[in-house]
Every structure is written in C-alpha cells, then in structure tokens.
Amino acid sequence: MPHLFLYGPPGTGKSTIGKILARNLKLPFIDLDRVIETNAGMSTPQIMEQHGESAFRDLESSALKSIQNEKESVVALGGGALLRDENRELAEKAGKVVLLKAGLDTLVERLNGSSNTRPLLAGDLRTQLSSMLEKRREHYNSFTLRAQVDGKSADENALQAQIALGRFYLIAMGEYDVIVGNVGQIGNLLYERGLQDPIIVTDENVAKFHVNKTIESLRKSGYDSKLLTIPAGEEYKNLEIVSGLWKSFLENGLDRKSTVLALGGGVIGDMAGFAASTYMRGIAWVGVPTTLLSMVDASLGGKTGFDLPEGKNLIGSFHPPKLVLADPSLLLTLPERELISGMAEVVKHGIISDPELFNLCGHGLDWVKNNLEEIVKRAMAVKIKVIEEDPYEKGFRAALNLGHTVGHAVELVSKFELRHGEAIAIGMVVEAKYAEKMGLSKKSLSKVISNTLSGLGLPVDIPKQLPRDEIIGTMQVDKKKNAKAIRFALPVEIGKVELVDVTDLEDVL
C-alpha cells in the first residue's frame, strides 16, 4: 500500500501534522529525519557539519529506499528531501506526496529560536528562509497536491492534508477507510484487508463502462470474482430485486466470509449493502460509488435499504461497509443531468460547513467538470465530519437535511420528473429565503445560494405547474409523522446551518 508523504519548507509543521494525520488514519508515523539520524548514529546538525549537505542527501536516499516496503505509513520528509530527482522518483513511486505551503511570516514565526538545530538556516532567519524559498520556489510549486497551512490549527491542517490526499478513516458505527483513488486499486485494497470471495453487484449502465476494469483489478490480486447485473433506476430499488440478490448469493455459493462489492450509484449501494446486511445475518460489503451523489453522500454513513410502493427507503438497516473507494474518473461517463443533480448535494455540503467548497462551486459547471477530484474530496470530508459527530442521526446529522424538507415535497409533487438534486436545489433556495424572512440570515444569502446553483445548471424556483397547496400538503403529512413541528436545517451563513422547529408550513412557501 502506498505511503502518504508530507513535504514542504521547514516550519510548515510536517512532523506535527504528520502525527495527527497518522492518528486520524490509524496508520504508523515515520519521521524520515529521525530514521536518518538513527541510521547515522548522529544528529542532523552533526551530519551536516561533519559530512556536508550532499552526504546528508545520500543518507536521505537510503532512508527513503529503506521504508519503501514498510506497511503503509504517514511519512514526514525533510524540507529538501525531494530536491534530488532520484528521491522524488522514489517517493512518488512509493506513494502520494502532499506539499504543505505557508507564507514567509508564518515560517519565521514558527522557526524562531530553532535555527541552531537547522544548519541550512544559520544566520538571519528571515533572510536565510526567504532565499531558500526563492531557490526552491519552482521545485515546491511543481507538487500538485497541496495544503495551505497559515493561520490554522494543526488539527485543521491535518484535515486539509487528508482532503488533498483523499484519505479518510470513518469512525461511525463501524470503522473503515474512505479512499479517493483509482478503481484499479480495488483488488489490492480488498486483499490488504483480508476480504474474500468478492461478488460485484452493479447495474446495466455502470456495467457497460466500469465492470471490466474492476474485474481485472480483482483478478490481478488473485480474486476470481463473480458478477450480478441488475436493471438501472430507482424503480428497481425494491424487495423483488433484493430477494433476487439473496438468491443469487446462494446460487453463487457465498458464505459468511464472502464480500459484496457494490459498484454503482446510490441505488446499487443501498440495495447491495442491504442484501449484504441481511444475508446470513450480515456479510462484508465494499462501496465503489459511481455517481457524484453516491460518492459525496449515499456511500458514506452505512445506511442501506430499499423502497416500498408506499414510500422511499422505508425498509433498511445500518450496515457500514468495510471500505469505500471513490474514483472521480468514473464520473466522466455519467449523464450530465446526473452530474448536475449530484452538484446540489455538493453545494449543500459547502453551505453546511465548507465556505471554500461553496466558492469552488461558484466557478460553474465547466470548472467543476475539470476539477471533479477536488470537489469529491472536499464534499466527502463534510459528510464524514457530520456523521462522525452524530452517526445515528440524534442531533447534528439533521443539518444534512438542508433543502430536503421542501425539496422532498417538491420532488414528490413533481412525480419524480425532477431529479432528487434538482428538487433539493429548489428546496435550499426556498429554505434560505425563509431563513432571511425569520431574520436568521442576511438578506442576500438566498441570492448568493441561488446564483451558485443556477450557475451549475440547477433549477432554483418551484416550477409554476406544481401546485403550492399540494407541496404544503405533502410537508404537512411529514409534520404529522413528526408530532407538532418539522425540524428544518436553515442556512444562517455560508458554512453554518441552524436546526429550527417550524409549525407554520405555509409561511415557508
């Protein structure tokens, strides 16, 4: 398994952030400078003084080689460790490198008092640092995965590094890795986790594009995988298909040690996850989401289930997967309307707690299409944070309902003519207008939200042909189920929502 390398100028906090990152991801931590010092039997200043920088770089190369075959770890590198092409190649072959960046003032502040342990910065710290940064500017700028560390706590910076690396370890009900990577890694990832006897569950659309490379990756890791393909679409998210899955599991000889691999959108994840949660009282499953919505939402949190004729998701279970692998390149085959619909949930995540993500959404659809990986990583991080705080939806997880109270009613009244995300986009704007009316937010907030949504091609107004009284009536049904009031998640500002109990639903529209 590849290592996660932290790199960047002295003073960016590679060791401190690295330790937190390792703890967050439940991985070992390696400080390469300490490895070098142990191998050499002397401190870095002593090596530099007695043997010079070039000898130190030689030791760095051997240390990098020595950790290559270690178990996956977070590795903090020295500030010049990858200046040599040979070292850079070694690191990039052995894993992913994230560059920590900071302004000169931050670095000077952090390094003040420690320049005697840093021979390359001896003399006036600011002058030495500034000249080092100038010399290495092109080098540092050539790393594509980056985290800006100024003005944030070490914990926040560790999260930024995780987002850049696309690596999360979700602790909610179960514990599992959530990885943004390449579907070609799936065989290896299953193997490392000791998962056995995989059966792929997918739908007809996804099968056309993405099954072969999944099977191939499994084959390379020694798995002779099985495949079940079901028809695509929400109308097939029902008991008949689930029971067909159970029967096929039996016919294919699945036992308690087998693994269901859900390759598809939210419909496949929900159904394959549910079938796995109930087959032989629960077997392992792995999510490989293939829609934007399923990457940033449905695959995270362990909710599985299917629909009844009486309503959506009425039967289900909490059954966390053993692993989620999201490959943003799979989204290139997704129909544009599905991609746009998924963007509504991304915008929602930005509004809930990531203003930077919200701003990125403001660049419009073309930008998004060219930067799917960044969008997926950031939006996943928001949902992961929310479900870790409240796995069983007892409190704050209700923030994820932003736009959904009105949105669900609009979706139902449109008789599902509107895609889920389209209805949620409308719901978010209606709810933002209500927050303004209640004096919870600034007057301009709904405009800011609706501009971003329409820039992505999402609708922001309730279609004229949908009767408002029917929408209110649909919300009333929900209200009855929830006693006296409905709990709305209302936007207060970009990055913050508040949970508010609302009794007068007519007032909302």
Ligand X SMILES: NC(=O)c1ccc[n+]([C@@H]2O[C@H](COP(=O)([O-])OP(=O)(O)OC[C@H]3O[C@@H](n4cnc5c(N)ncnc54)[C@H](O)[C@@H]3O)[C@@H](O)[C@H]2O)c1
Q: Which pair of tokens denotes residue 254?
A: 């699945």
265 near ligand X (CB under 6 A): yes
Q: What 3-state DSSP class applies to 310?
A: coil
User: Out of 264, 321, 407, 427, which residue is the one contacting ligand X (CB under 6 A)?
Assistant: 264
Which one, 234 or 373, has the nearer CB to ligand X? 234
Q: Which residue is nearest to ligand X (CB)?
A: 266
Please give the residues from 314 up to 353 whose contact with ligand X meets the rule CB under 6 A.
330, 333-334, 338
Lookup: tokens for 245: 């899955």
277 binds ligand X (CB under 6 A): no
Which of 345, 411, 431, 436 is flagged as catalytic?
345
CB 32 within 8 A of CB 77: yes
Rounded-to-integer distance, Cα 118 and Cα 139, Å: 20
- Based on the shown chain and the rule CB under 6 A, indicate whether residue 275 belongs to the binding site for ligand X: no
Q: Is 164 helix (H, G, I), strand (E, B) or coil?
A: helix
Q: Which of 205, 401, 419, 436 is catalytic?
A: 401
Q: 44: Cβ–Cβ under 8 A, 6 or more apart, which residues? A: 33, 36, 37, 56, 78, 117, 119
User: Exactly one of 167, 420, 422, 436 is catalytic; which is it?
Assistant: 420
User: Cβ closer to ligand X: 61 or 229?
Assistant: 229
Active site residue 404: yes
Does residue 298 interact with ligand X by CB under 6 A?
yes
410 binds ligand X (CB under 6 A): no
Reported as type and span, the H/E element at residue 299 is none
Q: Any catalytic annotation for residue 397? A: yes
Q: Which of 169, 191, 209, 396 binds ligand X (CB under 6 A)?
A: 209
Least separation in angstroms between residue 381's CB and ligand X is 16
378 is catalytic: no
Q: How far is the CB of 348 from ligand X (least distance, A)?
A: 11
Could you tell me the two tokens for 283? 């077997």
Tell me, what amino acid is at 243? S
Q: Binding to ligand X by residue 301, rule CB under 6 A?
A: yes
Judged by CB under 6 A, the residue of 31, 60, 197, 297 near ligand X is 297
Nearer to ligand X, 143 or 274 (CB): 274
Residue 254 contacts by C-beta under 8 Å, 6 or more apart in sequence? 197, 199, 260, 279, 280, 283
Q: Which C-beta is closer to ligand X: that of 153 or that of 333?
A: 333
Q: Are 167 and 177 in contact (CB under 8 A)?
A: yes
CB 139 within 8 A of CB 147: no
- Min dist. Cβ of residue 346 to ligand X (A): 13
Q: How near is the Cβ of 251 to ligand X at its closest, in Å?
A: 24
Secondary structure in 3-state letters for 9-61: CCCCCHHHHHHHHHHHHCCCEEEHHHHHHHHHCCCHHHHHHHHCHHHHHHHHH
Termini Cα distance of the chain? 52
Which of the stretches 30-38, 90-98, 288-296, 359-367 binds ligand X when contact is defined by CB under 6 A?
A: 288-296
Does residue 234 interact with ligand X by CB under 6 A?
Answer: yes
Nearer to ligand X, 3 or 303 (CB): 303
- Give the Cα separation of 434 and 446 in Å (integer): 9
SS3 state of residue 8: coil
Catalytic site includes residue 23: no
Q: Is 202 a residue that touches ligand X (CB under 6 A)?
A: no
Active site residue 481: no
Residues paired with residue 306 on neighbouring β-strands, in sequence order? 315
- Distance, CA of 41 to chain centre: 41
290 binds ligand X (CB under 6 A): yes
Q: How far apart are CA 406 and CA 428, in angstroms?
A: 8
Say how far apart CA 192 and CA 187 lie, in whole Å. Answer: 9
What are the residues whose beta carbons fall under 8 Å from the beta carbon of 229, sequence distance 6 or more? 202, 203, 204, 207, 211
Residue written as token pair 């039967």:
315
Note whether 287 binds ligand X by CB under 6 A: no
At closest approach, how far in Å is the CB of 470 from ligand X? 22
319 a catalytic residue: no
Cβ contact 246:221 at 8 Å:
no
Q: 331 or 502: whose CB is closer to ligand X? A: 331
CB of 204 to ligand X, least distance (A): 7
Query: Considering 281, 394, 464, 480, which one is annotated as catalytic?
Result: 281
Shortest Cβ 304–ligand X spacing (Å): 6
Report the largest interatomic distance among the alpha carbons of the chain, rounded to a whole angstrom: 83
Active site positions, annotated: 281, 303, 345, 383, 393, 397, 401, 404, 408, 420
Per CB under 6 A, residues contacting ligand X are 203, 205-206, 209, 232-234, 237, 264-268, 270, 290-291, 293-294, 297-298, 301, 303, 312-313, 330, 333-334, 338
